[in-house]
Structure 1
Amino acid sequence: MREILEIISSVIGLTAMAIIIWGVVVAVVGFLKSEIARNTPENNFKTRKEIRQNLGGYLLLGLEVLIAADIIETVANPTTQEVLILASIVVMRTFISYFLDKEIKELK
């Protein structure tokens, strides 16, 4: 059972990484398109703002999925050290998610 949970945790972690990487690729492509189009400065600002919002959304989703993977991994290996590591990871990722979400809302 432990091995199955570890595999599931790894798959979920890889999925989270794929989400984050995909978000970065989408952001870079969008940025390059806007730079090539050379719109007015106002349009470029609006486009960059939209790109940042989209990237922030991908990052938030990826972080949430990574937290789920960490929780499953801790269930598979419930040592005191693993629980402390999970708690610190969740606190850091929640902190990052909070401020990232706040910044995204400010951009809207």
Structure 2
Amino acid sequence: MEAAFTEVTGYAVLLIDAIALITVVYGTIEAFVGALGGMFIPSAPDQLRGIWLRYARWLVAGLTFQLAADIVETMTRPEWDEVGRLAAIAAIRTFLNYFLERDMSEVREDQLNYEKKA
């Protein structure tokens, strides 16, 4: 029974890791295309900032999926190396999320100030 649980967990981790990879790759391609377009087509600084904010969201989503995969994997192998890896990913995700939320709040404030002036 334990071997079957470990095998199912392995497939679940593989699937969630694949989702994390797809999320990060898609976000990277979207950001690259947006930045490339911004180099050749004059655009407002807010538009470029929006591209990077969307990219940060994709990265946070990818890290969230990776964290989920690590949590599932740690259920079957609760070794200190795995717990340390899980803690590092959780710390990075929290760090990125904090700055993303701060940047999004600044963008919202800038938009409100712009709307008040208009």
Query: Would the aligned equivalents of 2:67 and 2:90 in 1 still touch at CA under 8 Å?
Result: yes
Over the residues paired in the alignment, what is the CA RMSD in angstroms?
A: 1.9
Secondary structure class of the residue paired with 1:78: coil
Flag as ranges the 4+ runs of structure 1 deviating above 4 A.
none
- TM-score scaled by length of structure 2: 0.74
How many residues end up aligned between the 2 structures? 104
Please identify, of 66-75 and 90-99, the stretch whose mean Cα deviation from structure 2 is larger.
90-99
* Residue aligning to 2:114: none
Instruction: Report how far residue 73 of structure 1 moved.
Output: 0.5
* Residue aligning to 1:94: 94
Instruction: Report how far residue 18 of structure 1 moved.
Output: 1.2
Give CA-to-partner distance per residue, 1:31-53, whole Å, 9 cap, x none.
111222224xxx2x122111011
Instruction: Report how far residue 89 of structure 1 moved.
Output: 3.1
1:16 to 13, 20, 32: 20
Query: Would the aligned equivalents of 1:2 and 1:76 in 2 still touch at CA under 8 Å?
Result: yes
**CA radius of gyration, larger in:** 2
Identity of aligned residues (%): 30
Q: Unmatched 5+ residue regions in structure 2? A: 109-118
Instruction: Report how far residue 30 of structure 1 moved.
Output: 0.8
Instruction: Report how far residue 77 of structure 1 moved.
Output: 1.3
Greater relative contact order structure (CA < 8 Å, 6+ sep) = 1
Where do residues 69-108 of structure 1 align in structure 2 (5 Å cutoff)? 69-108=69-108
Instruction: Label 1:60 to 1:105 Cα distance change in 2 as closer, same or farther (>3 A).
Output: farther
Q: Unmatched 5+ residue regions in structure 1? A: none
